[in-house]
Amino acid sequence: MLFHSSIRKELARSFGATLVVLITVVMTMTLIRTLGEAGRGIFNPADVMIIMGYTVLSDMPTILSMCLFLAVLNVLTRMFRDSEMVIWFGSGRGLTSLIKPLFRFAWPILVVITALAFLILPWAFSRIEDMRDRYEKRGDIARIEPGQFQESANGERVFFIEKDTNGTQAGNNVFIAQHKDNKESITSARSGRVEITNGEKFLVLENGQRLEKVTSKPDLTVATFKTYGAKVDADDQSARSFVPYRAKSTLELLQSPTNAHLAEISWRAGLALAAVNFVVIALATAGVNPRVGRTANLGFAFMAFIVYFNLLILGKSWVETGQVQFGVFLMALHGGALALALLWLAKRHNNWVLRPSRKLAALKAPSKDTA
């Protein structure tokens, strides 16, 4: 049908424009947040763009849902404003007849949202956690930054090196403070280099001194040296000891249905179900009112989207703490939202009007005084 094809083309244009804007905004916000985390030492600064890409990918189900909601709402509101819906209604069709073309346009997006929520989202979170864990387990040499005090992986040493311009395996003005086995030591040297002996890394210091003190004794030992070797920790290549719930695959969550796992499943399923409900909600609420301006529907869209997703987050915490059952939460939130949207759509389709009862109308009617 010509009308169906034209409305799908307009939906595609509106969806594409909204998607570009939202992705740009989300990428900018994610970049600022990731740069802040890299500055605090949570991520490797060299991996900022990769972390940002994984983060945006994990946010794509929410972004696509909002784009779909805004596209349907904007297109139908424009049709009401330009009186195209009057022609549609005049041909004997109602609002419910728009469900088919809307879902014919939306079903590929809904499939993508479902795949992202159940498959790609945990994979992206897992990659982020792997990069975070690998950066935390880096060796002492990798932790050293020129002109900065850096703590070792086990927290026993503090390093300071002014790196030489000839390479990263040598440096000048080396400082090492160590606290181990009730002993405190401070070692400084004019220069140092990294050497590998029997597969182990050593920091060889030259022309320096070492101060050592036992915590329980007041004595202080001072020694000067020409060459001194200090063993440094290598990179920890072990796997992650802890896997967050959001980084586990959906199959792993289903195999162990604890409250925390069910809460994560409710979040992933909620992303897909919310996208379906948003199509119906947009159809049921689309319209134009000259008294409130053109931005009223856009404001309602943001309000409905925020409330819906806040309920998703709140319900996830309720399921995790055992306050609400998994199935009850899904039926109450998503089933309730769908039922209300369909009821409102039926009201607009059939032009139902809430009228007062005859008794109430008779009480409100003015009485006729007889002369």
The answer to whether residues 145 and 129 belong to one domain is no
**pTM metric for this prediction:** 0.75
One domain for residues 150 and 282: no
pLDDT per residue as tens digits for the range 153-166 = 666 777 777 765 55
Q: Is 47 inside any structural domain? A: yes
Asked if the structure places residue 279 within a domain, the reply is yes
Do 118 and 183 share a domain, yes or no? no
Number of folded domains that form the chain: 2
End-to-end, the C-alpha distance of the chain in Å comes to 66
Does residue 103 sit in the same domain as residue 169?
A: no
> By mean pLDDT, which of 13-17, 25-29, 111-115, 301-305 is the weakest?
301-305
8 and 110 housed in the same domain: yes
Mean pLDDT score across all residues of the chain = 79
Residue in the block written with tokens 């030492």: 41
Q: Are 60 and 164 within one domain?
A: no
List alpha helices for the chain, DSSP H: 2-39, 48-58, 60-81, 84-90, 99-115, 121-136, 140-143, 250-255, 259-285, 296-321, 326-330, 336-350, 358-364
pLDDT at residue 242 greater than cutoff 80: no
Query: Do 123 and 172 belong to one domain?
Result: no
**Together in a domain, 131 and 252:** yes
Would 367 be classed as within a structural domain? Answer: no
338: exposed, middle or buried (C-beta count within 10 Å: 0-12, 13-18, 19+)?
A: middle
- Give residue 339's pLDDT: 92
pLDDT value at position 275?
A: 93
For 243-284, write each residue's pLDDT tens digit.
778 888 889 888 888 898 999 999 999 999 999 999 998 888
CB 191 within 8 A of CB 169: no
Residue 50 lies in a domain: yes
162 and 110 within one domain: no
Q: Is residue 360 part of a domain?
A: no
The reply to whether 369 falls in a domain is no
Instruction: For residues 96 and 245, state if they share a domain.
Output: yes
The domain in which residue 214 lies consists of 140-231
Q: How far apart are CA 309 and CA 286, in angstroms?
A: 20
DSSP of 120-152: IHHHHHHHHHHHHHHHHT--HHHH--BTS-EE-
Residues 262 and 114 in one domain: yes
Helix (H, G, I), strand (E, B) or coil at 173: strand
Contact 198, 207 (CB under 8 A): no
- The pLDDT value recorded for residue 239 is 56
Residue 366 included in any domain: no
Mean pLDDT of 25-31: 89
- For residue 195, is it within any domain? yes
Name the domain boundary from 204, 231, 258.
231
Same domain? For 100 and 8 the reply is yes
